[in-house]
Amino acid sequence: MTSNRAALPSPTTSAERIDAIDALRGLALFGVMAINVVMEFRVSIFEQFLGPRTLASPINRAIDAILSQAIELKAFALFSLLFGAGLAIQFDRLATSERRTVLLVRRLAVLLVFGVIHLCLIWNGDILTEYALAGFIVLPFLFGPRWLLALASLVFLALYLAMQDFAPAGLFPSRAAIWRDVMDANRIYATGGYLDVLAFRLRELALIAPLHAFVFPRTIGLFLVGALAWRSGIVQNVRGLFAIALPAIALGAGFFGGTEPLGTIALALGYGAAILGIARFERGKRLLGWAAPLGRMAFTNYVAQSVIFGWIFYGYGLGLFGRLGITEALTIGIAVYIAQVLFSTWWLRHYRYGPLEWLWRTLMYGVRQPMVAARVAVAE
């Protein structure tokens, strides 16, 4: 007789994972890290709204141009596409389970709790909360056909593009409020203890919330595009991926260097399709395989970056906030990223999941998941 436990749905095993998607996620995490460490940990997130950055060093100007033209917003868009595809993969994988809806709602609810904790106690630049809320909106569309996913994605992305010119009045704080916040950030983040930083971080949420509200339709739209890419089989089709990659990159780069909203989305699609296509080839796997362990532990690594950078830049740690140039901050970020690549590779040789991935799955399924990696028996 088959036990009830054996019939319960369970997380994706290592053998079932798609290495190309994990590698893409690991590479996208580099872009997210680079933008976060340079523009949100090094200085106030609101400094960019006070006018163009004045950079004396040619190296800093070059790096700033590369980040703004090629990476800023594209990495976050790519992460959104991957989250939508991941949600669709989970949805389809649980198709035979009567508890599918309950499990997926619980998955998003647990992510929401993690996001709120991260947002309030660790770093208010969090994206997990927004992703969980967007996931709740996208989930019902996954029960529909592909045309519904396509139509809904177009509607939400069109709403986002329309908001570029017709944002609701009063959505964003005044320039004076932003200036005061930047001045306070330069003092509190640089010299304050943890409780001082915590109080200011919570106070800043009123200014940060409109930024999330502004990009929320884009996040939903990109989730739906990612889900559609999985459902349509494009993710698994090498020819289809390259057929999308080159036109999308060319189109995206044509929109004022990829900095305009539509250009940003096109570049993210092009990046994702190109990397997935390359990773499907044997040489591509060898070239990009180092990023797959990092991608499998993206949740743990993302939160760990917040903890590490908070200690490096805020007053309760090294207090380097506002004291480093772009080059120095990015160098620190790259060093942390390389350390995470090495750590993730070592960790996954011994364990099935990253620490936070294991906790997320355990809470989602309501059953303690095995952590230690299965040992392969060697015949004597």
pLDDT digits (tens, 9 = 90+) for 156-175: 999 999 988 877 766 778 88
Phi, psi of 32, rounded to the nearest 5 degrees: -60, -45
Structure-model confidence comparison of residues 373 and 178, the more confident one = 178
CB contact set of 76 (below 8 Å; sequence gap of 6+): 31, 32, 35, 127
Amino acid 295: pLDDT: 96
Task: Return the closest-CA partner of residue 266 out of 172, 372, 161, 146.
Answer: 161
Structure tokens at 189: 């983040």
Please calculate the CA angle 241-291-91 and round it to the nearest 5 degrees: 60
- Position 252 confidence tier, pLDDT thresholds 50, 70, 90: confident
Report the sign of the C-alpha dihedral through residues 48, 168, 153, 365, in that order. positive
- State the residue for tokens 């884009």: 218
Amino acid 166: pLDDT: 79
CA distances from 345 to 14, 21, 275, 340 (A): 13, 16, 20, 8
- Position 322 confidence tier, pLDDT thresholds 50, 70, 90: very high
Please calculate the CA angle 21-78-226 and round it to the nearest 5 degrees: 70
Amino acid 72: pLDDT: 85
pLDDT surpassing 70 at residue 3: no
- Position 8 confidence tier, pLDDT thresholds 50, 70, 90: low
Report the sign of the C-alpha dihedral through residues 30, 35, 36, 37, in that order. positive
- HSE-up of residue 107 (Cα within 13 Å, Cβ side): 24
> For residues 227 and 87, what is the distance between their CA atoms, to the nearest angstrom?
7
> Which percentage of the chain shows pLDDT scores above 90?
71
**Mean pLDDT (the chain, rounded):** 90
Structure-model confidence comparison of residues 57 and 207, the more confident one = 207
Q: Are 380 and 22 in contact (CB under 8 A)?
A: no
Amino acid 87: pLDDT: 96
pLDDT surpassing 50 at residue 380: no
pLDDT digits (tens, 9 = 90+) for 10-68: 665 554 568 999 999 999 999 999 999 999 999 999 988 887 766 778 898 899 888 88
Structure tokens at 45: 């997130």
- Position 148 confidence tier, pLDDT thresholds 50, 70, 90: very high
* 38 Ramachandran zone, left/alpha/beta (phi>0; psi -120 to 50): alpha
- Position 101 confidence tier, pLDDT thresholds 50, 70, 90: very high
Structure tokens at 238: 């090498």
pLDDT surpassing 80 at residue 4: no
pLDDT surpassing 90 at residue 136: yes
CA distances from 145 to 92, 152, 154, 231, 256 (A): 12, 11, 15, 9, 35
pLDDT surpassing 90 at residue 379: no
Structure-model confidence comparison of residues 340 and 97, the more confident one = 340
Q: H/E/C letters for each residue in 267-315?
A: HHHHHHHHHHHHHCCHHHHHHHCCHHHHHHCHHHHHHHHHHHHHHHHCC
- State the residue for tokens 């096109």: 266
Report the sign of the C-alpha dihedral through residues 41, 43, 44, 49, in that order. negative
